[in-house]
């Protein structure tokens, strides 16, 4: 048996996704555990953000150095791609 404390909103939002997938919470957790066993680790990568990423997070949180674009082509132009 597993007991975990999860924020109510997070639990509700995730259960809606499970329902769309035809899963209940127990089935989803079992699937997650089986994937961990299969991969011999988490089935996705977790990385510590580098300095550039952390700087970008801070700037975004503070609404600094935000670049707005009109559309995809404008974005590519501003990124000089």
Same domain, 37 and 67: no
d(CA 21, CA 13): 13
pLDDT tens by residue, 54-77: 999 999 999 888 888 999 999 999
Question: 12 in helix, strand or coil?
Answer: helix
Same domain, 39 and 6: yes
pTM over 0.75: no
Same domain, 34 and 53: no
pLDDT tens by residue, 1-44: 899 999 999 999 999 999 999 999 999 999 999 999 999 999 99
pLDDT value of residue 76: 92
Token pair 């109510």 is at which residue?
8
Same domain, 7 and 32: yes
Same domain, 78 and 39: no
Other beta carbons less than 10 A from residue 30's beta carbon: 13
């Amino acid at each position: 048996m597993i007991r975990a404390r999860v924020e109510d909103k997070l639990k509700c939002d995730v259960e809606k996704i499970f329902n769309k997938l035809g899963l209940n919470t127990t089935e989803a957790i079992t699937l997650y555990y089986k994937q961990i066993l299969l991969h011999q680790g988490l089935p996705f990568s977790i990385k510590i953000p580098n300095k550039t990423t952390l700087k970008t997070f801070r700037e975004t949180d503070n609404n600094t150095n935000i670049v707005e674009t009109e559309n995809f082509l404008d974005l590519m132009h501003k990124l000089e791609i």
